[in-house]
């Protein structure tokens, strides 16, 4: 991973303060869900349905999740859409915070100040 110059300009004390802030601002770890929300239009396959002429149904929401080597699509019912979307976004914010904390620790390590 690249050594980020944004942290190099800060003192050890400032780095530790920033790291503590990142930890304090971490979202609720219980509200996490790996995956990506996708919108898809679908054909139902019924003969004579309007979707056969190209006017597809939807959009329907799906959660794309890694299942081993494959990606699975799980249907998201409308009543769960907001919660699923929020969990996916929260996971992204937590991952960004972890990446920053790790980069700060790498900088502290490089200065012999990792505690």
Name the site residues for Zn ion (rule: CB under 5 A): 44, 49, 51
Nearer to Zn ion, 45 or 68 (CB): 45
Nearer to Zn ion, 47 or 77 (CB): 47
Helix/strand/coil percentages in the chain, nearest 5: 45, 20, 30
Nearer to Zn ion, 48 or 112 (CB): 48
51 secondary structure, DSSP code: G
Smallest distance, Zn ion to C-beta of residue 42, A: 8
CA distance 1 to 93: 19
Smallest distance, Zn ion to C-beta of residue 45, A: 7
CA distance 74 to 27: 25
Smallest distance, Zn ion to C-beta of residue 37, A: 23
């Amino acid at each position: 991973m690249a050594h980020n110059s944004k942290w190099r300009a800060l003192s050890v004390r400032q780095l530790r303060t920033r790291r503590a802030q990142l930890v304090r601002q971490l979202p609720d770890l219980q509200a996490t869900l790996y995956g990506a929300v996708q919108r898809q239009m679908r054909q139902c396959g019924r003969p004579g349905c309007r979707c056969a002429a190209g006017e597809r149904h939807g959009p329907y929401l799906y959660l794309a999740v890694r299942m081993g080597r494959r990606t699975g699509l799980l249907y998201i019912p409308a009543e769960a859409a907001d919660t699923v979307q929020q969990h996916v976004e929260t996971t992204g914010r937590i991952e960004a915070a972890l990446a920053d904390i790790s980069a700060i620790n790498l900088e502290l390590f490089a200065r012999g100040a990792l505690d």
